[in-house]
């Protein structure tokens, strides 16, 4: 291609491909080619011609088409796909033929009747994101056709496309009965919805938002932890606004790495607003982009880029959170915004060590827990008053204590208390620090009424703190307030509806049903929890106790033997954990029977 022969112009480009072309050819080349020629002649070519398009080139499976108008291009694509639905429904006994279509608008280069450039490349990549029989539009294209062409699209959010430098926002439209295209061996678009969609969650009374994982646009994939941590901090900042209902990190991160349909996200999480974006970290410079979408309408309410040196990461996070909160609730006071955006540390190195510890803490294994402790100790060395690092250290040692992951329980208990008290002293007004520290102290036998007051105060400051409601549920369980505990566990789950690990909620709820003598319900819930996280000791202990109370002593003893629940074993810690004497005796007597420490005679 020579420079003097190249022309440029703005155009709308359609790129189409035959879905599962290889399978069609294997089923019968001559029949497939005959059918495709007929479809192109009788459906595709007339639809393009009627909308003043130009077919640039056609290969066996693909086609490239140019239009001078985005509206014409979209109408042509819609006409083709709708006609194909009707056409293929009448082809009984023949393999389905379907097209994927991608559409983009922009500057193209023309050379000897062929077209080139990023505009074309993006259109070709978009066809790969389209469902069989569907269309994907770039955001540039969608903005030009919205309201002018009859269509309903789902927002997939920013997508990384091969050989395209910047993410492209994508909108997807599908036609007809999708099941007719779900053929064996056909490539399908991953969906964030399960095969059977759960009922949509009711929107809360106050403004509700989910913050989705930000795309890591840095060259180093190892920077994912930084992008994830940044999003988690934005969630934390937003959740401190009492006027907002903010979905917890665990549920938001279910969508990581998946094509995003904003409407589905809003439906599954029960929120009106969704925030998404990207992070680029290069040469000690940071760029954060964010965009806020109304999930009920698809309307874009706000979009912004924030640039600065890496050292200003906390200030940039603040700007994102403050901007979003101001769009959702314009009545927020400046003082409330300032209070919500107080940073837990100004030490960037400590912050990085803390972020790297988080996935290890969530792994819930003794090995990962020890790695997390090492990282958190380094964070605290960098910033001795980093509240969340101190509280997380306390939690890690509490996990060692509760699960008997180390032999020296006395030392673990002392370390739990030391780190928790240091955390409370360093950050007494930070809800996350306070609830984590209080939760750790609960495992040491600290006065439960004192801990409840701490957590209640934290929840008053941050009503959207799902983790806080979880700890509050546990404290009510320990103090004997079973019905209130169930309510608090359920509140936590509503704030974290897509939590990948619900065992900590379910075991608490199961224990509360056990204490209320609802053994059938306790058994059902505890068995679900045990299936999800069999290494959680409390679940196994109370499941054995529940089998005993149901009169299934043989099953209880077999289960206890299989799980290593022996006479005089670690389960005796229940006597220290439970503050309600009747509940304590109820559980311990059942476990003495289940382990054979006492006979059932």
The DSSP bridge partners found for residue 304 are: 290
**CA angle, residues 533, 536, 538, in degrees to nearest 5:** 130
Name the H helices within 191-272.
Answer: 224-239, 249-252, 262-269
Same domain, 244 and 326: yes
What does DSSP say about strands 208-211 and 168-173: parallel, antiparallel, or unpaired?
unpaired
Domain region containing 64: 3-176
Domain-embedded: residue 40:
yes
What would the two tokens of residue 262 be? 């904003």
Same domain, 325 and 348: no
Same domain, 123 and 20: yes
3-state SS track over 550-599 = CCCHHHHHHHHHHCCCCCCCHHHHHHHHCCCHHHHHHHHHHHHHHCCCCC
Task: Supply the pLDDT for residue 384.
Answer: 95
Same domain, 288 and 413: no
Domain-embedded: residue 183:
no
Say which CATH number the domain at 429 has.
1.25.40.10
Is the predicted pLDDT of residue 187 greater than 50, yes or no? no
pTM: 0.60
Task: Supply the pLDDT for residue 345.
Answer: 72
Say which CATH number the domain at 64 has.
3.30.70.1230
Q: 230 falls in which pLDDT band (50, 70, 90)?
A: confident
Exposed, middle or buried by CB within 10 Å (0-12, 13-18, 19+), for 284? exposed
| Residue finishing a domain among 176, 199, 216 | 176
Q: 332 falls in which pLDDT band (50, 70, 90)?
A: very low
Same domain, 73 and 146: yes
Domain-embedded: residue 25:
yes
Highest mean pLDDT among 85-99, 216-230, 301-315, 488-502: 488-502
| Residue finishing a domain among 340, 369, 390 | 340
Domain-embedded: residue 248:
yes
Q: 22 falls in which pLDDT band (50, 70, 90)?
A: confident
Is the predicted pLDDT of residue 340 greater than 60, yes or no? no
Q: 281 falls in which pLDDT band (50, 70, 90)?
A: confident
Same domain, 353 and 329: no
Is the predicted pLDDT of residue 569 greater than 70, yes or no? yes
Is the predicted pLDDT of residue 169 greater than 80, yes or no? yes
Domain-embedded: residue 542:
no
Same domain, 157 and 110: yes
Task: Supply the pLDDT for residue 132.
Answer: 81
Same domain, 37 and 158: yes
Lowest mean pLDDT among 54-63, 346-355, 583-592: 346-355
Say which CATH number the domain at 213 has.
3.40.50.10070
**Domains contained in the chain, number:** 3
Each residue of 188-201: pLDDT tens digit?
333 333 333 455 67
Lowest mean pLDDT among 275-289, 319-333, 513-527, 528-542: 319-333
Same domain, 152 and 14: yes
Same domain, 109 and 218: no
Same domain, 110 and 169: yes
Lowest mean pLDDT among 174-178, 186-190, 218-222: 186-190
- Whole-number Å distance between alpha carbons of 396 and 99: 53
Domain-embedded: residue 499:
no
Task: Supply the pLDDT for residue 476.
Answer: 97
The DSSP bridge partners found for residue 111 are: 114
Task: Supply the pLDDT for residue 282.
Answer: 74
Same domain, 415 and 290: no
What would the two tokens of residue 470 be? 């979880």
DSSP, collapsed to helix, strand or coil, labels residue 308 as strand
Domain-embedded: residue 478:
no
Each residue of 435-456: pLDDT tens digit?
999 999 998 989 999 999 999 9
Domain-embedded: residue 368:
yes
| Residue finishing a domain among 446, 470, 505 | 446
Say what angle helices 537-549 and 519-532 make with each other, to 10 degrees.
150
Lowest mean pLDDT among 106-110, 316-320, 396-400, 415-419: 316-320
Is the predicted pLDDT of residue 161 greater than 90, yes or no? no
Percent of the chain at pLDDT > 70 equals 90
> Around 230, how many Cα atoms within 13 Å sit in the side-chain half-sphere?
31
């Amino acid at each position: 291609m020579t420079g003097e022969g190249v022309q440029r112009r703005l155009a709308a480009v359609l790129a189409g491909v035959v879905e599962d072309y290889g399978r069609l050819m294997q089923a019968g080349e001559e029949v497939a080619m005959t059918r495709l020629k007929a479809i192109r002649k009788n459906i595709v070519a007339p639809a393009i011609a009627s909308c003043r398009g130009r077919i640039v080139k056609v290969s066996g499976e693909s086609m490239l088409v140019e239009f001078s108008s985005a509206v014409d291009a979209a109408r042509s694509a819609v006409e083709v796909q709708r006609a194909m639905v009707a056409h293929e429904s009448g082809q009984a006994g023949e393999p389905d033929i379907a097209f994927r279509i991608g559409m983009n608008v922009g500057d193209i280069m023309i050379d000897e009747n062929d077209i080139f450039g990023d505009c074309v490349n993006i259109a070709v990549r978009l066809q790969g994101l389209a469902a069989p029989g569907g269309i994907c539009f770039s955001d540039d294209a969608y903005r030009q056709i919205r309201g002018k062409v009859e269509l309903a699209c789902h927002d997939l959010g920013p997508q990384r496309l091969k050989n395209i430098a910047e993410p492209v926002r994508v909108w997807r439209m599908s036609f007809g009965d999708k099941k007719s295209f779900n053929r064996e061996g056909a490539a399908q678009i991953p969906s964030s919805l399960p095969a059977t969609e759960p009922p949509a969650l009711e929107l809360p009374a106050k403004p509700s938002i989910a913050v989705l994982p930000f795309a890591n646009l840095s060259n180093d994939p190892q920077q994912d932890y930084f992008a994830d941590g940044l999003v988690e901090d934005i969630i934390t900042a937003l959740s401190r606004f009492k006027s907002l209902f903010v979905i917890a990190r665990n549920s938001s991160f279910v969508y990581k790495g998946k094509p995003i349909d904003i409407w589905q996200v809003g439906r599954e999480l029960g929120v009106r607003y969704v925030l998404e974006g990207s992070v680029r970290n290069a040469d000690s410079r940071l760029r954060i982009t964010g965009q806020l979408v109304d999930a009920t309408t698809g309307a874009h309410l706000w979009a912004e880029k924030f640039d600065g040196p890496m050292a200003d990461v906390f200030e940039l996070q603040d700007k994102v959170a403050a901007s979003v909160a101001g769009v959702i609730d314009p009545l927020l006071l400046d003082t409330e915004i300032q209070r919500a955006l107080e940073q837990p540390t100004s030490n960037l190195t400590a912050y990085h060590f803390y972020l790297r510890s988080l996935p290890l803490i969530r792994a819930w294994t003794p090995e990962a827990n020890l790695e997390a402790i090492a990282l958190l100790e380094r964070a605290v060395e960098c910033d001795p008053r980093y509240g969340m690092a101190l509280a997380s250290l306390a939690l890690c040692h509490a996990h060692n204590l509760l699960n008997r992951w180390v032999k020296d329980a006395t030392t673990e208990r002392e370390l739990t208390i030391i780190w928790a008290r240091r955390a409370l002293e360093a950050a007494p007004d930070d809800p996350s620090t306070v609830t984590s520290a209080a939760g750790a102290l609960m495992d040491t036998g600290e006065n439960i009424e004192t801990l409840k007051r701490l957590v209640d105060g934290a929840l008053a400051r941050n009503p959207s703190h799902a983790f806080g409601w979880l700890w509050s549920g546990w404290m009510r369980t320990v103090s004997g307030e079973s019905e209130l505990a169930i309510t608090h566990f359920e509140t936590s789950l509503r704030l974290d509806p897509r939590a990948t690990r619900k065992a900590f909620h379910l075991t608490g709820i199961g224990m509360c049903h056990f204490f209320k003598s609802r053994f059938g319900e306790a058994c059902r819930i505890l068995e679900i929890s045990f299936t999800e996280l069999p290494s959680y000791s409390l679940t196994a202990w109370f499941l054995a106790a529940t089998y005993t109370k149901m009169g299934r002593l043989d099953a209880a003893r077999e289960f206890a033997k299989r799980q290593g629940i022996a006479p005089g074993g670690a389960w005796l810690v229940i006597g220290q954990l439970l503050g309600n004497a009747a509940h304590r005796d109820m559980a311990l007597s059942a476990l003495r029977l289940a382990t054979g420490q006492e006979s059932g005679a």
